[in-house]
Structures are given as C-alpha cells and as structure tokens.
Structure 1
Amino acid sequence: MSQEYTLSLSKGRLPVTEGRISDFADDPIVCMRRLWARHGDVCALQEGNQRVYFVFGPEYNHQVLSDASRYHSRFFAAYGPRRSAQRRVTSGLLTMNGEEHRRHRRLVQGPLQKKAIVAYHDQVAEVSEDQFSQWQAGETRDIASGMTHYMLRLTCAILFGMDHPEMAYRVGELTERWVGLNHTVGAGAFTGSVEASEAYDQLLDSAAELEAAVKELLAVRRASGLGNDILSLLIRAHDDEGGISDEQLVGHVTVLFGAAHLTSAHTLAWTLFLLAQHPEVMQELSEEFDTVLGGRTPTPDDLDKFQVLDRVIKESMRVLPASAYVQRLAAVPLELGPFQLLPGSVVVFSQFMTHHMPELYDQPERFIPDRWKTISPSPYA
C-alpha cells in the first residue's frame, strides 16, 4: 500500500485522505487502520473526484445497519455489462433491497431456520465422518483447503440436496477464482472504472465459466428430483410460480453457494489456526469434548453443554472474522458525521476494526476465549 498519503486541506479540513482507492482493495485492513489512526471514527479516502467513506465502531455500525431505506446493500462485485454472465451471477440477494429483497429472502429462509437446521444432523455427521476419517494424527495438512472442501460438501448436501463432491469442488474452485478476480479488479467496484483494470476481461471469462457450472448444477438437481432443500425451492419458484427470473435463479444459487461455504470455511480454518497457537486452550477444549461426548457423535441436544467451544468460536470470530468489512450505498442524500453524502456514495463499515478497538475489548489483538465469561457486547460491537 502506498506510504505517500497526505491529508487533504482543500476540503475544509474534513477527515479526508488523498490516495489510491485500489490500495484499499489490495490491503483493506492496513488501509482502514491507517485511516482510523489518522482521522478517527468517520473519514474518507479520495482519488480524484471519487471518494469512499469509512465509519468505524458500534455507533456507526448501528446507524448503517439499522436503516435499510437509507443505506442500500451493495455486493462487492463489479456489475459487468448488460446481458453478461457477470451481471447474471451478481443478481442474487446481496444486490437486492426493499420489498424485492424481502420477497426473495422469504423464499430461502425456511431451510435456514433452527428447526430445519436441527434436521440436518445426520447429513452433517455422515459428511464429517467421511471427510475426516482418513486424517491421521501427526500429518501435515493444508487446513484452509481441507475446511473449504468440507464446507463445499456440506453446502452441496444440505442446501442443494446433492452429494456430488466433484461437482461441489468444481463450483467451489470457480467461485473462489471469481471472488478473487472481483477483488483484483477492486477499485472498479467503488469507482465504476472497472474497464481500466487488466483483470476485467479475466473476470468476465471467469463469470461465464462459473455460470455454466451453476447451470450444470441446476440440471443435475432437476434430473434427480426436487426435495425440500433451498435449491429445490428456488427451482420451483422459477419453474412453477414465475417468481424468479432466469438471471435471479443463477444469481441466488451463485451467492448462496459462495456465502454458505466460504465464510464458514474461513471461520473453521482461522479457529484451528488459533487453537494450534494456543495449546492450553486446545487442551481445555479437548477435555470438554471428552466430558460431554465420551467418544460418541454430538447431537443438537449437546450444544448448550459446550461452554468452552462457544467461547472459542466467539473469540475466533472476533479476532479473525471471516470478512473484514461490508459496504453500503447511500440511497438518498444523508448526513454521515461531518460529511453530506449524495445518493450512490459508497460507505464502508468494518467488523474487523470494531472487534479490535481497545475501548471495547481489552488486549484486542490477543486470543483470549475466557473474556466471554464476563463480557456481553452489543450486536453492533
């Protein structure tokens, strides 16, 4: 990231740093930490006439998240040309707002409610046993890859009602490459100048390849008969009810597949990474497993008994969240700290930055699961 940032004095001493917006895309955590250290909880990064606004901390998280009529969801990906595969694979829930979002969310939320999730127990146990039965103590394993493959299989089995590991891995690999290229294009998602990026053509090709794989997934699911999984619900809404367009069906499946496996895989990998660095916590967790389970497979009734595990997961997601930031678009003219925002302005807020504020969490850089014995932060902290 560029070291040559300078405070812009031409903006009436507003908290604005002049620099390259692509630097944020290249290393968001470093960029946000420098902006926060320089300006505090509200600031902006400006390049030419393009500006990205940043807010940090629970107060502003609440402001942005609690008013969906003023702050619209914004998918991180570039939209792509009209009628392109890139436009279609980004047409899912994360690009919808208002009544359209509520209507489409209702279509998929049933299988994600607690009662439905409990019913997935046998599938989770079966996939887990098959996935990890060949792992041996003392082996060297790529945990990131292992957790990604594990979550790909679970996603395919639970959300899509299919157990096709090879197809799941293929779609997963294409999704990861597509996500990576969107981040490489980076600044285009903020400035609208994606055509200038060398990665743009690769992104469009990747989107076309991903779309073809998703359509193959849909064809296989149709051929095997529909069930009560999310994919079946979406296909019925498309085929029978006309409530979902062709574009939206592809977009929903792409977004759900990516969101379901990537964030969970990252959380599992980071948790195991932190446990490997803290053997005393690993030992405490192992003892809890032995006490609660005695070698048997866990059931949903066991969840409340895992107090150490609960603290470990909360602390892992605090220290190393699966996603560092989220963005919104100003839907109307609005006031944000000292700024007057125009519609379409990009606003970034960061769970990572909030989780590492020393005024909220003592020794925020340290992995201390036991802190959760005594703290109960707000949903926005």
Structure 2
Amino acid sequence: MTVDVAMIKKHKACVLVWVLFVCFSPSAETLHILNREGYLSDQVTARFEQNTGHRIEQIYYDNEKRRNALLDRADKYNFDLVLVDHNSARIFGARGLFSPLTLEQIPNLDQVPAFRKEQCGQFGAPYFWSTLGILYRADKVQPPPSSWRDLLVPDDHLKGHVGMLDNSLDTLVPPLAMLQQPLDSDDNQVLREAFSLLKAQSSWVLTYEYPRTYIRHDQQADRLYMAQGYSSDRAAMNTFSDQEHWRFVLPDEGTLVRLDCLAIFRHSPHQALATEFLNFLNQPEIAALNAEQTFATPANDAALTLLSGQFGQDSSIFPLVPALQNGQLAPRLDPKNMEIRNRITLAVLKNHETR
C-alpha cells in the first residue's frame, strides 16, 4: 500500500495518521517508509515481503520542505524509515531522531565505498547518488541546453513551459553557478543577485513541483518542456509520460552531486526488521535490480557489475568523469544561510503566484 503525502497535504494531520494505522494481519509486521515516489522498486518490495512474510508501506513526499515538516512530527506518525540526503542524515541524526547503524547490523554495507558511508554518517545507509542538471524535451527544445543560463533566461517560446525545484539549496544552484559563485554562498549581495534572476525567470515557470511528480500526476504535464531536476528523473519521466523525448544534461558551469541515504527512526518499534530490510537492499543483485527499476545510480559498488549493458552505459545515470569534474557534493548550509534562502524561495513562489 502506498500513500502520497502531496495528494493529502491540504487535509488535517489526523487524516494521515488514520491512513498510516491501517490494520494488517497480526502475523505480519509492516515497515512504513517515508520516501520519494518511484525510489523503491515494486519488484524489490515484493521479494522482501515474499521472503520475510512482512509488509512494506510507502508514504510519499515530493519536496524537502514537506518532508522536514513531517520529520519534526515523526513521533506522531508511524514511520520506520525515511529517505534523506546525506546532510539531513547527519543533522537529524545528531538531534536524536535516527538510530545509529553499524556493519554488525547491516553487513552488506561493507560493499558500499567507505567515502559514501562517511558522507551519510553513522545514521544513514547510502542508497542512491545523482547529479543536478537540466531535463528537457528533445522534441520541444532545440538546440539542447548546455548552460544554467538556458534555464534561467529561456527563449520566448518556452514561456509557461519551465519547471524549477523548490528548496533552499537546489533552487539557488542555477543562479549561483551562472554567476560563478560558491553554491553555498552566504554573501548577501550575491544572494540578492541570485534572487533577481529567479524572480525574473518566474514568468517563464509553469511549476515548482518536483518534475517526475508533476509529469506523473498533473493534467498539464504535456506543457512542461524543460526543468531543473536530477539525473535519476530522466528515464522515469519518459516512462511516466509514455514517450522517449526527455533528455538530461549537466550544465557547463557545474552542479551538485546528491547522495541519498536511508535512516531508521529511533522511535520505530521495528528496529530489527528495518535493519534487515536495509541489509536486503544492499545484496548486490537486489541493489542492481532496484537501480534498474528506479532508473537511479546505486551507492553499492558491488551492484555495478550486475547491471545490464544498456543501463550501465546510460551517461545521464552514470555521468562520465569529465562531466563530473565541475560537480560538488551538496554542501551543508548554516541556519542563517538556510533562513535567507528559504525567504528567497518563498518570495519567488509568491511572485510566481501573483503574476
């Protein structure tokens, strides 16, 4: 069973709580995972349920602001695991929200490179990694974009056809990279310039919803021609839209590399089952299946040799080393910087809504 947080966000919290406490057979435990839609293979969950007799239930979020709001009230919900970026794994783990993880509990993590385990820290199990770039429809956008400027200052025919993300880090990457400024800049003048670019661009923006969510659920999905998004989104968007027009490009100015981690809530009553599930996900053949079914890049290197040739050679999912040279792991922002950026994104959205 799955529940889409975005679809019920306008309802009271009690609705979500009621949904999560659906009664199941007393012989089976149920793991509730707060996750992005499409980031866990149905075949993988089916195998785990068949092997163990237990159940997997996913609750979806479509942006990190909503996820963080849920994390702040996690003890009131029935969540066991959550998908978070590596910075959030460390931040919320340090606050006591997550349980620490060890190789003794999850021995298959020994097949994950040490630097990725270090990035997720003691509270996160590395899951997928991806790069931030530009998604575009090859039948609508010619020539192909190559710069963040193509997204921020688009051609006139793209007015009302552009998508952007809505969070304090990703939204600011295009203008900061275009201005050749550090992606974690806290310089007020630089951030004002970035805000000006985003405000001017808002007249071209169709949506600030996560692109793969928008493509799958919105009735105006066919109006989206170009969007900010991650490398793992391209193949999924082609599948959801039942076409092969979507492409992905890493802009010349540089970009972010995102590492997603899975964390277990400290309050979860299913600690043993949750660690068993994380160990299952890191079996090489399962990690490979999960990657191919979700169109994502596995953090488990042992899975790489088990991937099909066509999937393993997809340069949007596995960018070539030269394309990654201008990439950097998503930086951790201090609270003041985060607050300023949140005000910027809120102002941009308000400007978009009132245009």
TM value normalised by structure 2:
0.29
More strand by share: 2
- Normalised by the size of structure 1, how large is the TM-score? 0.28
**Structure with max Cα Rg:** 1
